[in-house]
Structure 1
Amino acid sequence: MIIWSQGVRLAGDVYRPHDSIDGHKLPGILMVPGWGGNKENVGKNYASYFAEAGFVVLAFDFKGWGKSDGPLLAATKLEPTEESAEVTLKATHVRKVVSPFSMAADVRAALHYLGGEPGVMSNKLGIWGTSMGGALALVSATGDDRIKAYVTQMGPVNYSYNLKQLPAEMMRQAEAEAARGEIPPYPGPESESDPRLRGYPDWVALKQFEPLATLNRLDAPTLIIDAEDETLFDPSKNGGLLYESIKGRLPSRYVTYPGGHYEMYQGENLSASRGEALAWFVKYLN
């Protein structure tokens, strides 16, 4: 199915219990993939598992990733028109950009799609995000009262700390150069910095991304899952900080599992962490 986000078609999949009854509404869960993730992996390992437990679950690809369309960058200036008009043009189909504000808009669009899905209790939604998806899910969880349960798995929610090595003045210079057309408007291979991470990061946008800025508006019971031997960021300044900021104010739980970031997606860690997440959704959505 197609989800529209900022005028771009996103690809999505809806998962339902195999024994769902027509006309009977169920709570919904939105799955938010991580940096370079896709709906296929999230769907196979998590969405189908949650669906069989009695939820309607939506997984999707961010714009420019997987089976979703990406933005189009016209090769030349378009002729001005008074109204919208069909045009024939040569353009670049932009792919694999990691831009948190664009991705946050995709999460919001997918959440609205799920809330409008037949058979979904639109005022009883859960949101689950892994890796960068955990931070993106937090932005929606603090801004939508339909979300009644939030699960973040290895979410780097503290970008101001995680990217403290990037000087603000350097970021301003990059923005000025982009505005003047001196550097490409979308990042490409020149922005890559870590071979473990796919795609082309928009470092200026990532530096400005502050999921914790609206933490005071978080009302959803929150489950935080981290890897004990995380190497992509400091868990104590991300998931740990998130937990310390909300415990006592709202229902919350902080759980860690042995191993590194990518070991969470396999074996016993996969089984245990998704079981923990499912128990959280059952408790707060059912």
Structure 2
Amino acid sequence: MRHLSASTFLTFTALIAASDLLAQERKPDFPVPDDVTVRSEAIISEGTRIAAEVFVQKKPASEKLPTIVMSHGWGGTAAALRPDAIVFAQAGYFVVAFDYRGWGKSDSRLVMSGKKPEVKEGGTLVAEVKEVREVVDPIDQTTDILNAINWVAGDRQCDTERIGLWGSSFSGGHVVYVAARDPRVKAFVSQVGSMDGRWAIGTPQIRAYTLGQGAARTRGLIGYPKPSEKFGSLTGAPVIEKFIGYAPIEDIGRCKDCAKLFMIAENEELFDNKDHAILAHERATGVKKLVTIKGIKHYGVYNEARDQAQKEAIAWYNEHLK
């Protein structure tokens, strides 16, 4: 792999810094309470810029704050997390929410198409590329969360000894996967979380399809799914072979030093809680809690039960991050 020249690298980083500064100075285009500030940031994840928003009290209690990294679910964006992020910031937390690569305001991962381009003097090249956008890849998404932790740990307001994760639905499993791999995570909240991607090989027919997709993609016979392609009622088609190695339910035993809160919908309709959060809670060791929100289905946690879910999360973070 060829590297950027020093001058090109410096120019590139200067442009990023300038664009970040402009982004931070823009006023939010959504309602923000008087006691909370919001700024836009750029996180570099595997070479791609992902868009993030930071929420914090205008008059924080201390220089270093307990921190929450939030991640969205299947087909969502960070914009939908703003009501929760604001409430967490008002409770005294330094909060970061972001869009995965290829989603929302984040840049897309680029893949080369056509012939290998000629590298010009100075290490530059002109290439024909395709963007990978609005597809669902759990390995890429959890990598983005890990990189978001790396980024926030470098912020002067982040207390690196008190980092928590928040995930919902698909990312309710992501927080388990990440906490099992990053010891900096001291607590997580997983609400209505799915914990096992091995449905992709769950039956002989699905297994044959998944393995066939992986073989065809690696041989260049097929590309990635189209942006925003539907998968049942969900937006964003899966890069299905990536789900074979994604099983947070098998990772939960590695989260021994992390306080684990699982919230489930009593009338969950998308999957069986017994095979997901309930089983994860049973397998978990150390500090753990299972909360059932009565009378709701999966999406009720974003609607009629949102206040209750926020209060449960804040109480958990207050107990284990403050």
TM exceeds 0.5? yes
CA distance in 2, matches of 1:170, 1:191: 18
8 Å contact from structure 1 (residues 34, 131) kept in 2:
yes
Note if contact 2:228-2:235 (Cα within 8 Å) is conserved in structure 1.
no
Amino acid at match of 1:244: E
Separation in structure 1 between the aligned mates of residue 309 and residue 228 of structure 2, nearest angstrom = 35
Q: SS state of the match for residue 88, structure 1?
A: coil
Counterpart of 2:216, as a letter, is: E
Residue 180 of structure 1 corresponds to which residue in structure 2? 219
Corresponding position of 2:24: none
Structure-2 residue corresponding to 1:17? 57
- In the TM superposition, 1:1-286 aligns within 5 A as 1-20=41-60, 24-42=63-81, 44-79=82-117, 81=119, 85-160=123-198, 164-165=202-203, 167-184=206-223, 186-188=224-226, 192-195=230-233, 197-219=234-256, 220-246=258-284, 249-257=285-293, 258-267=295-304, 269-286=305-322
Name the CA shift for 1:236/1:84 in 2 (closer, same or farther; >3 Å): farther
Report how far residue 161 of structure 1 moved: 5.1
**Greater C-alpha radius of gyration:** 2
Q: Deviations along 1:94-148, whole A, 9 cap, x unmatched?
A: 2101001111110111111111111111121010101111111111111122111
Contact 1:162 1:233 in 2 (8 A): no
Distance in 2, matches of 1:179 and 1:190, equals 22
- Does the 8 Å contact 2:137/2:238 carry over to 1? yes
Matched residue SS, 1:167:
helix
Provide closer, same or farther for how the CA distance between residues 27 and 84 of structure 1 changes in structure 2, counting only shifts above 3 A: farther
Q: Bigger relative contact order, structure 1 or 2, given CA contacts below 8 A and separation 6+?
A: 1
Contact 1:26 1:120 in 2 (8 A): yes
Tell me how far apart the structure 1 counterparts of residues 210 and 122 of structure 2 sit (CA, whole Å): 34
Query: 1:182 Cα deviation (Å)?
Result: 1.6
**How large is the RMSD of aligned CA atoms in angstroms?**
2.1
Kindly indicate whether the alpha-carbon contact (under 8 Å) linking 2:71 and 2:166 is maintained by their aligned counterparts in 1: yes
Deviations along 1:46-85, one digit per CA (max 9) or x if unpaired, are: 1111111111000000000000001123331223659983
Please tell me the residue identity of whatever aligns with 1:121.
Answer: D
Residue 17 of structure 1, CA deviation: 1.4
Cα distance change, pair 147–170 in 1 and its aligned pair in 2 (3 A): same
Task: Give yes or no for contact 1:225–1:254 (8 Å, CA) kept in 2.
Answer: yes
SS across alignment from 1:79: coil
TM-score, with structure 1 as normaliser: 0.91
Give the C-alpha shift of residue 262 in structure 1.
1.2
Offset at residue 171 of structure 1 (A): 2.1
- The separation in 1 between residues aligned to 2:208 and 2:283, in whole angstroms, is 30
For the 8 Å contact 1:161–1:237, the answer to whether it is kept is no
Q: TM-score by structure 2 length?
A: 0.81
SS at match of 2:79: helix
Q: Tell me if structure 2 keeps the 8 A contact 1:130–1:155.
A: yes
Distance 2:178 2:44 in 1: 17
Moved over 4 A (4+): 80-84
SS in 2 for 1:110: helix
The number of equivalent residue pairs is: 279
SS of aligned partner of 2:244 = helix
* Residue identity opposite 1:167 in structure 2: I
Question: In structure 2, what is the Cα distance between the partners aligned to 1:133 and 1:163?
Answer: 20
**Matching residue's letter, 1:97:** V
